Amino acid sequence: MEYYKEYFRMSEPLFKMLLKLVTPLITHQSTHIQPITAEERLVLTLRILGTGITQTAAAHSFAVSQTTISKIFKETTKAIYDALKDVYIGEPSKERWKQNAEKFEAMWNFPNCVGAIDGKHVQIKVKLCLRLCAFLRVNFLRL
């Protein structure tokens, strides 16, 4: 289970559900060479999206050419979008954006934002006065 979280930023059941949804969209027929499987295509794409490695690094890790990686990434991200758009994205409207922003602010105290993809802790240098004020308020620094 940790493997999926670490490499793909999702649980194993979620990975398997996504694989089931995109397999018909990214499966290629066998020719004289063995095609890259739908699972391998999804693994490769989620690895790039989940860890931020470059396509060049992915090409080395998966022993596939950069051109092939680029094609697989483009095709698989489109398949993920096509498979999930009607269920999770829906038709945008001003009212929906406002509701999302209000929910996000209520939950995270971060105004004018409709969502977040991920979070990252970073070290920053702060002036002493600001550092003391921020530290005393929450016991650690935040951006």
The tens digit of pLDDT for each residue in 6-27 reads: 888 888 999 999 999 999 999 9
Domain-ending residue, one of 73, 89, 105: 89
Instruction: Report the pLDDT value the prediction gives residue 32, as an integer from 0 to 100.
Output: 75
My answer on whether 108 and 60 are in the same domain is: no
CA distance 81 to 42: 13
Q: Name the least confident of 60-64, 102-106, 120-124, 134-138.
A: 134-138
Q: For residues 68 and 46, what is the distance between their CA atoms, to the nearest angstrom?
A: 15
pLDDT value at residue 120: 66
Q: Give pLDDT, residue 54.
A: 93
Task: Tell me what pLDDT residue 69 has.
Answer: 95
Does residue 115 share a domain with residue 76? no
Residue pair 86/93 in contact (Cβ under 8 Å)? The answer is no
pLDDT single digits (tens) 78-102: 999 999 988 877 777 899 889 989 9
Question: Which of 48, 73, 89 is where one domain is finished?
Answer: 89
Query: pLDDT averaged over the chain?
Result: 84
63 and 7 both lie in a single domain: yes
85 and 102 fall within a common domain? no
Number of domains in the chain: 2
Decide if pLDDT at 1 tops 70: no
What tokens does 16 get? 């398997």
Q: Which of 1-15, 57-71, 129-143 has the highest mean pLDDT?
A: 57-71
Identify whether 134 is part of a domain.
yes
Structural domain of 38 = 2-89
Decide if 143 is inside a domain.
Answer: no
Judgement on whether residues 47 and 113 belong to the same structural domain of the protein: no
Tell me, yes or no, whether 20 and 33 share the same domain: yes
Contact 57, 68 (CB under 8 A): no
Q: Is the domain of 82 the same as that of 116?
A: no
**What integer pLDDT is reported at residue 39 of this predicted model?**
95
Domain termination site, one of 50, 65, 89: 89
The CA–CA distances, whole Å, from 38 to 14, 41, 76, 118 equal 15, 5, 9, 26
* Mean pLDDT on 54-74: 94
Examine residue 30 and state whether it is found in any structural domain, yes or no. yes
pLDDT at 136: 47
> 111 and 82, same structural domain?
no
Threshold 0.75, pTM exceeds: no
